[in-house]
Copies of this chain bind each other. A is one copy, B any other.
């Protein structure tokens, strides 16, 4: 019942802020961006200037959040945008945007418009990381059973938690021949199999695009499983070649644009 006024606010924003897109086409594009190789994934963390935001009266906040909604809706035709609430779980910032695009220029255009929007002037850019989705490197050489296990469909239902872990490998790792690396990645992958159902994973390759070599992204409803998964990964041989793991680990909850708007309207 505490949510009632906010819901009203939300409906107002919905009425004021509509930049409508062809939902069917946008959905199809989004599916492609989220599943295909050769797509750029950007993780952008923002902090909300809390003191300034708290000073705004409710009407001003609604106007500003409407600008957020507008910018996101407008760009959703070209890029896939996911939102996460970091506040209360991460000291890195308040909001995380995950953006998938065929070209980083499109991501830049979205973030420029976001920053120039009425809402954007309350945001401080805390961190931006980029990666690229690619065909799996080592999986083709894995045993058939392992390949089948990796294709296990994760349990249906919402996975409210998302975790982002940047990883950098040592020069020694890259100096190993492909065969040795493949053997270690097979051991690494075996360690992840017990968690295929409850922890969704997605890998982005970052070398050159950013300081990490990889950005690993996870979704789960069972954080304890996720903890056990990471613990298993720390115990395999490949982990000795990891020079940076997290630092920071970014933990948040998956939210829809409307949920974020509602939360910030309060």
Contact = CB atoms under 8 A, between A and B. Distances in A.
Interface of A: 38, 40, 49-52, 54, 85, 87-91, 104-105, 107-112, 115-116, 120-121, 125-128, 130, 132, 160-161, 163, 165, 171-172, 174-175, 205-211, 213, 223-224, 226-227, 229-231, 234-235, 237, 239-240, 242, 246-249, 251, 253, 263, 266
Given A230-B208, A231-B208, A239-B174, A89 B116 contact: no
B104 A234 contact: no
B234 A174 contact: yes
- Give the oligomeric copy count: 5
Contacts of A128: 88-91
Given A85-B108, A104-B161, A115-B88, A234 B132 contact: no
Most buried by B among A115, A209, A213, A226: A209
Contact of A40 (B90, B110, B165, B223): B223
A211 B247 contact: yes
Contacts of A209: 163, 223, 226-227, 249, 251
A169 to B, nearest CB: 8
